[in-house]
Amino acid sequence: MRKWLIGAVVLVVALFVAAQAVPYGRDHTNPPVTREVRWDSSRTRELAAGACFDCHSNLTDWKWYTNVAPVSWLVYSDVEGGREHLNFSEWDRPQGETDEVVEAVRDGSMPPLQYKPLHAGARLSDAERAELVRGLQKTLAADPPIPGRG
| Numbers of helices and strands, H then E, in the chain | 6, 0
- The whole-model pTM stands at 0.83
Q: What is the DSSP-derived secondary structure letter of residue 17?
A: H
Q: Is 138 helix (H, G, I), strand (E, B) or coil?
A: helix
Closest CA to 35 of 5, 11, 58: 58
Measure the CA–CA gap between 85 and 150, rounded to whole angstroms: 8
Per DSSP, the residues of 58-72 read S-----GGGGSTTHH
Q: How many CB atoms lie within 10 A of CB 100?
A: 14
Average pLDDT of adjacent 10-residue blocks, the chain of 150 residues: 86 79 77 97 98 96 90 90 95 90 94 89 95 98 83
Per DSSP, the residues of 9-41 read HHHHHHHHHHHTT--TT---PPPPPSB----S-
pLDDT at 149: 61
